[in-house]
Amino acid sequence: MGPRPGDAPGAALTPVSRSVVVVGGAGGIGRATVERFQAGGDRVVALDVVSGPGVVACDVTIEDDVERAFASVRASQGPVQVMVYAAGITGAGGVEDESPETWRRILDVNLTGAYLCVRQAVGDMRSEGGGSIVLVASVNGRFGGSALSGPAYAASKGALLTLTRFLAREHARDGIRANAVAPGPHDTSMWRALDAERRARILGMLPGGGGPGDPADLSATIVHLCAPESRYITGATVDVNGGQWMG
């Protein structure tokens, strides 16, 4: 975070209630992240494509919808100080299998949606003297993906890693930190929607055959990256994949 109480170098690490937005907050990873931030005393709004209890409806592919949703956050809990982007959809097959329509849809949700949400958040964070952004990428963005992920998913998640580094460099002067996590298979609805054969093939990539990971454990890493104790971490990608990729 930026130079706020409990965050400036040399200051005591005093907990501060922050205005947090978790995009994709109704999904497995997003929901676990919302709950962990709330447990730490933060004010949290979840954005997702379908509204529900504690969730503001937002289609991240539509600029006006994103603008409206962030305006709602500001009205309810003040300027955004922390933003986690956990929205995402997957594909399958090779470049000949994945249609242009599917390619565009996946990139719109996974990458352009992150860009639109970041555009809304950075101004708030600058005005607040700093902030923290975490983009949820994927191990597929690390090793290039496969037919199990599809090309658009792998490309979009790899692009999130580059976007993270861009944000960390460009907005360091604003006191804004940007980091990414690159999860391997985790026990989410997206994971459970895969057929048993695909799940087995993915888990077969893990040393010792462990997995899938627990979203609650991953959320601890995400929240830690936004904590004062991580104020010297920016532009980093934290791999949480059970050893599926090591680099």
Helix, strand or coil, per DSSP, at residue 225: helix
| Residue 215 Cα distances to 25, 98, 116, 196, angstroms | 12, 28, 25, 20
Could you say which of 85, 115, 153, 232 is catalytic?
Answer: 153
57 to each of 30, 46, 49, how far by Cα in Å? 14, 9, 5
Q: Choose which CATH entry (3.30.160.100, 1.10.132.10, 3.40.50.720, 3.30.1280.10) describes domain 19-240.
A: 3.40.50.720
Q: 186-228 pLDDT, tens per residue?
A: 777 776 677 787 778 777 777 877 778 789 999 999 999 999 9
Q: Cα(145)–Cα(163) distance, rounded to whole angstroms?
A: 18
Q: Which two tokens stand for residue 117?
A: 């949400």
Percent of the chain with pLDDT over 70: 93
pLDDT value at residue 15: 62
pLDDT at 18: 97
Backbone angles phi, psi at 231, to 5 degrees: -65, -15
Q: Work out the burial of residue 200: count CB atoms within 10 Å of its CB; fewer than 13 is exposed, 13-18 middle, 19 or more buried.
A: exposed
Q: Is the pLDDT of residue 94 over 90?
A: yes
The reported pLDDT for the residue numbered 241 is 87
High-pLDDT (> 90) share of the chain, %: 73
Residue 86 has a CB neighbour count (10 Å cut-off) of: 31
What's the whole-number mean pLDDT along residues 172-176? 98
Sequence spans of domains, the chain? 19-240
Q: How far apart are CA 8 and CA 44, in angstroms?
A: 23
Please say if the pLDDT value at position 12 is more than 60.
no
The yes-or-no answer on residue 153 being catalytic is: yes
Confidence (pLDDT) at 9? 39
The answer to whether the CB of 108 falls within 8 A of the CB of 62 is no
* Identity of the amino acid at 63: E
With 0.85 as the threshold, say if the pTM is over it: yes
Range 134-152 average pLDDT: 91
Q: Which of 10-19, 179-188, 224-233 has the highest mean pLDDT?
A: 224-233
Mean pLDDT over residues 39-61, rounded? 95
Say which range, 51-55, 62-66, 85-89, 211-215, has the weakest mean pLDDT.
211-215
